[in-house]
Amino acid sequence: MIDGGGSTDWQEELTRAAITQNYNLVLSGGTEKLNYYASLGLQDQEGIVYNSDLKRTSARINVTQKLLEDRLRIDYNLNTTITEQSRNNNLGYTTNPTFDAYTPDGEINNPLNWNNPLLSNKYNGDFSESRRILFNVSPSFEILDGLVYKLNFGYENNSSDSDQQTIANTERNDLGSLSQGFGKYRNTLIENYLTYTFDVGEHNLSILGGHSYQKTFSRSSNWSIDEFPADTDIEPRNNPGLGGDLNLTDNRPTGSTWENELQSFFGRANWSFKDRYLFTATVRADGSSKFGENNKYGVFSSFAGSWRIIEEDFMDGSIFSDLKLRAGWGQTGNQEIPNKITKESFSVSNSSSVSYPIDQNGAYPVGSEYTRFANPDIQWEVSTQSNVGLDFGLFDGSLTGTVDYFNKVSDNILLEVVPVDPIVPAPTYWTNVPDMTITNKGFEIALDYAKRNYEGFSYAIGGNATFIDNVVEDSPFTIVTTGSASGQGLTDATINGFVSGEPIGSFYMQTFTGINSDGRSQFVDSDGDGDITENDRTVVGSALPDMTYSFYTNFSYKRLDLNINFNGVSGNEIYDHTAMGSFYKTLLSKSNNTTAIAIQYPEESIINSAAVSTRYLKDGSYLRLSNLTLGYSFDTKAMAWASNWLQELRLSFTGQNLFVITDYDGYDPEVNQDSSTNGIQSFGIDKFAYPKAKTFVFGVNVSF
Amino acid sequence: MKSKIKLALLFSGMLLSWNCTDLEENVLDESLNPSTEGIDEAVAALAPVYANANNNIWRHTKYFAMQEISTDEAILPYRGGTDWGDGGKFSDLYLHAMTPGNAIMKDVWEGTTKHIARAVSAINALTPLTETNPQAVVYLAEARAMRALYNHILLDAFGLVFVKDNIDDQSVILRGSEAVDYLISELLAVEPDLSTTTAVGPGRMTKTGVWALLARLHLNAPVYRDPYGTPDFSNADMDAVIQYTNQVINSGEHALSAEYFEIFDDENHTNTELIFAIDQREDLDGHNRMAYFSMSGDFYPLPEFPSANGTDAAAITSDFYQTWVDAYGDVDPADADPRFHKDNLINEPGCVSAEDFEIDRGIYRGFLYGLQHDQGGDPFERCEGDKYVVDLVTNRRSEVGDPVFHSLEVDFTANSSHSSGYRVEKYEFSKTSDSGRNKGQADLVVLRFADMYLMRAEAMLRKGDAGAALTDVNFVRASRTARHTAPALDAMDLDILYRERGFEFYWEFQRRTDMIRFGKFEDSYTEKTNSDPQKRVFPIPQSAVDGASILDGYLVQNPGY
């Protein structure tokens, strides 16, 4: 153990109380024929970790113009956002706390063989800027009474660039490097549809037919250069030409471009009778260029009806102020697969993957190979959802609520799988897995109670809860990994995935039972074969909560108001990858910092491995006070000096994330890092999360 | 009014741009069907059959691990609890506790099946060319011979072969005798069309390559025919071994290398001991993995490159070292047998110029002398102008600050630190590499001439002629004349021959096959006590079994998994 003689709280050195400034200016107004709304927003947010800042500028204009005796209406929206960002998640989890952060004369302390994380902050940088422009024009023209033609044209254009650099220096012996990425994204949408609305007696009908076309384009590229002059003040990104080493082995540029088209034909019919019985039917044919010749289109329909029971005569005089029953059935398609997978690919090159010195003394020849299967039969994954719901209001609307039951079954699941016969050009291909289904069913309940204006005092209380039961069935695979570990000695170890009979995001690992007499981890031999192998892995928990809930209360007394919001989940687990990767006893023996869990077992050997197991699986339930706002709205009419130009003046104070009640001992139980495999979303893995800040907001709202 | 007209024009323009599309995917970043004009189609078809096999199959973490870390020749602990844990894939393999999910199974399976698929594609592309292009006849024979070689790896490891002549067909799976007979018939069918090694070098499949492979196949055929029983080394198979080894020996194309370690030099391509090898080139992703992966992480083979260190991977077990001690008694194996070690670098503090700096070869024991620097990435310490300081190497991994000491004992508990265990530096670390660890160009040896003598010796011994076997073994020992020569043996039996194969072929992708053939695979040694004969054949990777599960009974998992 190395004792540097100091005492440093690295989290203290690497984080700060950060200040965010947020300004919004809104102009709006209009005449009978022309309305406009324009806004400008400026956000300057410091990250609580140094070098993780965000600046966002956004501007927006919405205009509505009515023409030709109001038969033509044109909506016009223009929206731009520019985001500048620097990223850093260096929290020095494992930095030895006995080293001083700074030398007595204020320099960054840098003793031999030891990397001060402050030096990494000083020399490494990760910056990006993205620019997004989006506009939308949608004219609608009433051709005849009740017959409206509408065109919607939308265009989005994003571009982004990023710089990752290390400034060359002799302090840390960095040679310096720069890697720059460029991205471009365009999305064009054209929708045309006709709607005809008419009444027949007390029947109200509406029929819609249309077409939509969407084209997306994306291009990304990256290049790099190494070895910059050391100890200059010039950042590599400001002059890449100062770099001294660029070769195709270390710096081969990368890039990819894809284009995608979606086309749909759709129709919808609405019928309502006396505003009491409502029925909607839709049918749409969705086509995607991602699918093969044989199955470009999927036809999806849906039906929904509702009955406003409260309108019935027999409800007169009941305690209900509202009562409505809803039911629906519908199908939707999923096309989330990579591009090009229906196309066979044959490549010809003299790269190392296909070339070989056939002539031992000659030039390397070109080699040819098939690199991808054609799968022209791949088709839309289909989700079929049924739902039944009830909306109700009681006591003159003081108590309102909804109850919903839903059941969604997805089949034709799109997955990348291994072929039956392994003697084929590519080791995997994308297909619809036959018979496999993923079912998501459950209840949603919401209740709100409000009491208004009781001698200047109003209050409301309410909440909602969702109970979900998710299950994967008839998967032919032992496990389809969706989340895996990374890091030294842990590469690709499965953490969670799809297992038949279990929810998606099920944790699949060995069960840890303690430390044995050799000081090594001990696991359950669940298959009883006498050996501890990966066959002893079982489903040990789920990343999906059984219940997600939130509740709120608000009070107002005259011009003072108070809002309090809570949210939480229960019944899920979190895999603490951060602890597995950073807080084990070996690191302590190598003079790194850990947390107390590293010495939880005094008998543990310092060479015991931190493998994926239930040792790092933790209860993920929590309850958070997500938002508390206290506000005061001034009576501008009573303020003689301002009453004729000031419409609204409000001061507010908001606290966000004020407390969390949880047994989870990582940074935060709301985890959001992606550890996905093959592009399938991962769930519930906490891997070096950016810490969630506690935020206090002071706000002034002024309207003129 | 003007503005209204403009608006109307704009909308009618949009109306007309109703792009009713056929949704044909527009591929922009790759050429799906590139022109083959101007390229030699026959060579283009054959090259991928061999290309990148050094990375896809004969890699330290793939086929090397499968053939060596499953045996007493190599053990790879979770070093210091920080390195080489990899989800237990190496320790499970060593303990014979491998499972269908073990990544090494998947890696070897995928690499081998990929190359069989490339061979089948090459056969399909070359067949029509043979009518007009005589070179295509040779290439077609090579593609078939390589398909047999890759299938032989599958048979040896997983107990099956895939028979497929057209890439669009579904393979027929053969096991046991049928698989052996298929491979023999394929090799015999193509042999007349092949080139000689003298003409095309050891990087391609040739007549002597096929004979050597036939000898190896016949020698192990009794195991393949009855993988879990006691092999019956029938005279017919042993006679075939003698016939094919004789054909190679009498071809006059090959000779034993006087310096044993030159077989594994960076420039070994012209060494006539090589019969078939993967021809690595530094600009075709050739690599130094076989040279550096066992080496200490604090040890640097190139003075110019402070990033070309070792990785503290596998070590030999104390049990394997004991076989050298058993053979040579009081004489240090480094003094008794030139195959154990070759001294190149000074073993004391000193000052060495860059051109004189050359690391030792063979097995490394005890303290380690090497280049000095303060921390990773720093330039090495200099002396006498531009020479380099050589001194005891400091451990920066497990026992930080102490000198690195490679101990005899290495296991999964007390002796699993970064420096535990004797290391192997059989292949030369390329001195022409100008970017650190990669850019190696040593040919990776698959079949070599010394094995012809040792296989012939074994066949004759199994037929009862110990005298002839002893002559062949001593011939190989006596031929390494560059430094000292190992003393002649005076007796021969199966245990001595097995031990001799360990001395001659350690870490050459052969130990597991040898252990099974000599009935040693179920023995107990350091950490390993599993004696289940079903572990002789590896589990088919779970991903392959899962993928084939929609076709009932097609790809059946091996027993015991």
Using one digit for the tens of pLDDT, what is the confidence trace for A613-662? 999 999 999 999 999 999 999 888 887 777 778 888 999 999 999 999 99
Cβ pair B28:A369 closer than 8 A: no
Question: Which residue of B lies nearest to A591 if distances are taken between CA atoms?
Answer: B400
Q: Is residue B60 part of a domain?
A: yes
**B201 neighbourhood in chain A, CB within 8 Å:** 360
- Interchain contact, A534 vs B102, CB within 8 Å: yes
> Would you call B85 and A256 a contact, using CB atoms and an 8 Å cutoff?
no
Alpha carbon distance A252, A351 (integer Å): 13
| Residues of chain B neighbouring A368 (CB-CB closer than 8 A) | 36, 39, 41, 44-45, 48, 125
What is the C-alpha separation between B421 and B415, in angstroms, rounded?
A: 8
- Give yes or no for A21 touching B (CB within 8 A): no
A245 vs B: CB within 8 A: no
Write out the two tokens for A334.
Answer: 């999923």
What are the residue ranges in chain B where pLDDT is below 50? Answer: 1, 16
Contact between chains at B50 and A356 (C-beta distance less than 8 A): yes
Tens of pLDDT, residue by residue over A573-623, are: 999 988 888 887 777 776 777 787 788 888 887 767 777 899 999 999 999
Q: What is the pLDDT of residues A149-176, one digit of tens each?
A: 999 999 999 999 999 999 998 888 788 9
Residue-wise pLDDT for A402-435, tens only, equals: 999 999 999 999 988 888 999 998 888 888 988 8
Of the candidates B34, B162, B546, which has its C-beta nearest A418's C-beta?
Answer: B546
Give which of B1, B20, B82, B441 to mutate to test A binding, by max A Cβ within 10 Å: B82
Residue B142 lies in a domain: yes
Averaged pLDDT for residues A71-75: 94
**B30–A585 CB contact, under 8 Å:** no
Query: For an interface test with B, which of A148, A350, A421, A585 has the most B Cβ atoms less than 10 Å from its Cβ?
Result: A421
Choose among A151, A533, A609: nearest Cβ to B85: A609
In chain A, what percentage of residues exceed pLDDT 70?
A: 97
> With an 8 Å Cβ cutoff, are A368 and B400 in contact?
no
B419-465 per-position pLDDT tens digit:
999 999 999 999 888 777 888 999 999 999 999 999 999 999 999 99
- Establish if A261 touches chain B: CB-CB under 8 angstroms: yes
B443 located within any domain: no
Contact A250, B435 (CB under 8 A): yes
Rounded to a whole number of angstroms, the distance from the CA of B523 to the nearest CA of chain A is 17
Note whether A525 and A532 are within 8 A (CB): yes
Phi, psi (rounded to 5 degrees) for A462: -175, 175
For residues A214 and A536, which has the higher predicted lDDT (pLDDT)? A214
Contact B509, B67 (CB under 8 A): yes
A679 pLDDT above the threshold of 90: no
Reference A397, options A322, A456, A324, A459; nearest CA is: A322
pLDDT at A437 over 50: yes
Locate the chain A residue with the closest alpha carbon to B282. A352
Instruction: Determine the distance in angstroms separating the CA of B68 from the nearest CA of chain A, rounded to an integer.
Output: 20
DSSP state of B489: P
Of A356, A417, A492, the CB nearest to B547: A417
Residue B114 lies in a domain: yes
Q: What's the number of domains chain B is made of?
A: 1
* The predicted structure's pLDDT at residue B16: 47
Interface mutation target, options A257, A354, A358, chain B, most CBs of B under 10 Å = A358
Q: Which of A150, A251, A423, A435 to mutate to test the interface with B (most CBs of B within 10 A)?
A: A423
Residue A424 near residue B167, CB atoms below 8 Å: yes
Three-state secondary structure string covering B152-183: HHHHHHHCEEEECCCCCCCCEEEEHHHHHHHH
* Total residue length of chain A: 704
Give the pLDDT score at B7. 54
Residue indicated by tokens 């113009």: A65
Whether residues B32 and A296 touch (CB distance < 8 A) is answered with: no
Neighboring chain A residues of B281 at a CB cutoff of 8 Å? 357, 364
Q: Are B58 and B278 in contact, with CB atoms under 8 Å apart?
A: yes
Whether A368 and B41 lie within 8 Å, measured CB to CB: yes
What digits encode the pLDDT tens for the residues A466-492? 999 999 999 888 888 888 887 765 666
Give the residue from B7, B9, B15, B30 with the most A CB atoms within 10 Å of its CB, the best one to mutate. B30
In a domain, B158, yes or no: yes
Nearest CB to B33; choose among A153, A173, A346: A346
Residue A259 has pLDDT above 90, yes or no: yes
Contacts for B190-193 with beta carbons within 8 Å, 24 or more apart? B190/B140, B190/B141, B190/B142, B190/B144, B190/B145, B190/B148, B191/B141, B191/B145, B192/B141, B193/B137, B193/B138, B193/B140, B193/B141
Whether A627 contacts A676, CB under 8 Å: no
Min Cα separation A52/chain B (Å): 28
Please judge whether A420 and B551 are an interchain contact, meaning their C-beta atoms are less than 8 angstroms apart.
Answer: yes
Query: Can you give the pLDDT at residue B1?
Result: 45
Q: Is residue B6 part of a domain?
A: no
Please give the pLDDT value at position B14.
Answer: 53
Q: Across the interface, which of B28, B117, B550 has its CB nearest the CB of A425?
A: B117
Name the minimum distance, in Å, from the CA of A47 to any CA of chain B: 32
Question: CATH number of the domain that B75 lies in?
Answer: 1.25.40.390
Q: pLDDT > 90: what percent of chain A? A: 54
Nearest to B550 among A347, A370, A434 (CB): A434
Indicate whether A233 pLDDT > 90: no
Asked if A477 lies within 8 A of B546 by C-beta distance, the reply is yes
Structural domain harbouring B112: 40-175
Q: Which residue has the higher pLDDT, A639 or A226?
A: A226
Q: CA-CA distance, A74 to A153, in Å (whole number)?
A: 11
Size of interface A-B (CB pairs under 8 A): 275
Residues B398 and B414: beta-carbon distance below 8 Å: no
Q: Looking at the DSSP assignment, which residues form a beta bridge with residue B75?
A: B315
**Residue A441, beta-bridge partner list:** A407, A469
Query: Quick count: other Cβ atoms within 10 Å of Cβ B382?
Result: 13
φ and ψ of A544, to 5 deg: -90, 130
Q: Counting every residue, how long is chain B?
A: 561
| In-domain check, residue B129 | yes
Does the residue B162 lie in any domain? Answer: yes
Helix, strand or coil for residue A653?
strand
Contacts of A477 in chain B (CB under 8 A): 546, 549
- Provide, as residue numbers in chain A, all residues whose Cβ is less than 8 Å from the Cβ of B194: none
